[in-house]
Homo-oligomer: A and B are copies of this chain.
Amino acid sequence: MFWVKIQEAPFDAELPNLDQKIQENNCGALVSFKGIVRGYDEKDPLDYLYLEHFPEVTEQEIERILQRAQGHWGIRSAIVIHRVGRLNIGENIVLVMVSASHRKAAFEASQFIMDYLKTEAPFWKKEFFQNGNSRWVEAKQSDIEQKKRWALS
């Protein structure tokens, strides 16, 4: 079961249901990752983030990432929720949940999905700082490097 959702609303209230949703028969391991908006980058205190995306294409690309994860690790189920629009500090921004028979597959697949979400899915972040400045976030070299460790067939 793959489930991809792009939404403006927070997803914290949905978490208990998602846990039930993804816990399939005979799966022994469930990993979930939650990303949260941090309060400051290297320089200036952040006010909020704005996230733009490319509707339809985003969902397609995320499903493609999940298919690859399933092909490689044989995961049972995966859920991705990614928020867009205005996001304040401390708010959740992305959720990845993966269930699998064993923990190694669940951990690796969820890391893979996050690495690919960061570098393949059409989302763009703009930072709005407390001093009134704003700027589009640049793609991080460290994210590109992290992606390289997955030499999947």
Contacts and interface: CB of A to CB of B under 8 A. Distances in A.
Interface of A: 12, 15-16, 19, 23, 25-40, 90, 101, 103-104, 106-107, 110-111, 114, 146
Given A15-B15, A38-B101, A107 B33 contact: yes
Nearest to A93: B28
A32 B16 CA distance: 13
Contacts of A19: 12, 15, 34
B12 A39 contact: no
B107 A107 contact: yes
Given A19-B15, A103-B114, A29 B36 contact: yes
A28 B32 contact: no
**Quick one: which of A16, A28, A101, A103 has the most chain B CB within 10 A?**
A103
19 contacts: A12-B16, A15-B19, A19-B34, A23-B90, A25-B39, A25-B90, A26-B38, A27-B36, A28-B35, A28-B36, A29-B34, A29-B35, A30-B33, A30-B34, A30-B36, A31-B34, A32-B34, A33-B106, A33-B107
Contacts of A36: 23, 27-30
A26 B37 CA distance: 8
